[in-house]
């Protein structure tokens, strides 16, 4: 039984599958050649991340395919309902990358409040000739401790982000229409843990209260944060999107940066991904990463093992 991991899979996942008799193919096949490759090589399970799209043409064109797996949380690159209607198993790994994404959010937040996104651009260019000017330019940093983090979407990643915020000493407020109450447990290295109980607030109240905002929602048909939402925020807010491109209106985002409503933005995902707009890429107040929220060795190992476990359960 052959599994095609078209966007790659960790060695831990490969080992777990091969141990019980699966053959794992890690060739990266071009989108337009997938149907032919799957049929020619008798592939029964297709594993993807965000690069490969699994639409109706692949589902209809590969009658021997039994399972589609997404190494990650969101499955907007898969026609999930259609695949299930055709009798295919569709799986993902909702728990595996939460901590990695949360840490990236805080990388953007820490970098934002201390201007690292801009300092790292300018120090190589002018650090030897304009050191004093740069020092003055980046002298008005702020601390995260004591500030309020607003979390829009309080699923696994939202709660993992809240854990770090609480550990840093921030106040956390969240808005999630599907989760009225939530408990977040912050564990420590010595086995101790502290539990925090929360109640969801409205998005409008969160936007008015938060000093920093992070968005953790699936792909949406409409913007979660647009012009009206930016107007509700305090002046000087920092915002991070490590969820999905298109949940924040990037035109309104640029306007909010230009008029001082936002002090900085951190973006790991983009509306026009994989070709982000030049205005976004060149803006001096945006911290940028190329959709790497789950791109840690630890997360990829967990993703590979979680996929392997589900495949073995469903197909073996």
Instruction: Please identify every residue annotated as catalytic.
Output: 244, 273, 291
Exposure of 270 in the CB half-sphere (CA atoms within 13 A): 18
Residue 27 is encoded by which pair of tokens? 């060739």
DSSP state of 225: B
- Stated as kind and residue range, the H or E segment containing 13 is helix 11-19
Q: What does the angle CA 107 – CA 113 – CA 123 come to, to the nearest 5 degrees? A: 85
Q: Are 55 and 34 in contact (CB under 8 A)?
A: no
Omega cis (within 30) before 274 = yes
Q: Are 26 and 48 in contact (CB under 8 A)?
A: no
Length of the chain: 316
Which residue is associated with the tokens 């500030």?
A: 147
Look at residue 137 and give its three-state secondary structure.
Answer: helix
Can you tell me the distance from the alpha carbon of 100 to that of 4, in angstroms, rounded to the nearest whole number?
25
């Amino acid at each position: 039984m052959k599994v095609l991991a078209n966007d790659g899979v960790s060695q831990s996942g490969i080992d777990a599958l091969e141990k019980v008799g699966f053959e794992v193919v890690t060739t990266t096949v071009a989108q337009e050649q997938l149907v032919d490759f799957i049929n020619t090589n008798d592939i029964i399970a297709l594993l993807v991340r965000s690069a490969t799209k699994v639409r109706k043409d692949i589902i209809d064109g590969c009658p021997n395919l039994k399972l589609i797996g997404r190494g990650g949380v969101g499955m907007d690159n898969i026609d999930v309902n259609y695949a299930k209607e055709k009798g295919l198993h569709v799986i993902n790994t909702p728990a595996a990358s939460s901590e990695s994404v949360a840490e990236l959010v805080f990388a953007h937040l820490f970098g934002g409040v201390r201007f690292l996104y801009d300092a790292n651009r300018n120090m190589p260019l002018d650090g030897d000739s304009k050191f004093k000017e740069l020092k003055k330019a980046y002298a008005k940093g702020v601390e995260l401790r004591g500030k309020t983090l607003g979390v829009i979407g309080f699923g696994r990643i939202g709660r993992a982000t809240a854990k770090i915020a609480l550990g840093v000493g921030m106040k956390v407020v969240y808005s999630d229409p599907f989760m009225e109450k939530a408990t977040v447990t912050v564990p420590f290295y010595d086995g101790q843990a502290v539990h925090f109980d929360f109640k969801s607030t409205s998005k409008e109240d969160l936007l008015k209260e938060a000093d920093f905002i992070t968005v953790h929602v699936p792909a949406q048909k409409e913007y979660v944060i647009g012009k009206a939402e930016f107007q509700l925020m305090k002046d000087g807010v920092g915002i991070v999107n490590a969820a999905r491109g298109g949940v924040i209106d990037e035109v309104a985002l640029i306007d909010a940066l230009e008029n001082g409503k936002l002090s900085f933005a951190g973006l790991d995902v983009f509306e026009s991904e994989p070709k982000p707009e030049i205005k976004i890429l060149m803006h001096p107040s945006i911290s940028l990463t190329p959709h790497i929220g789950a791109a840690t060795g630890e997360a990829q190992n967990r993703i590979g093992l979680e996929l392997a476990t589900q495949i073995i359960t469903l197909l073996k």
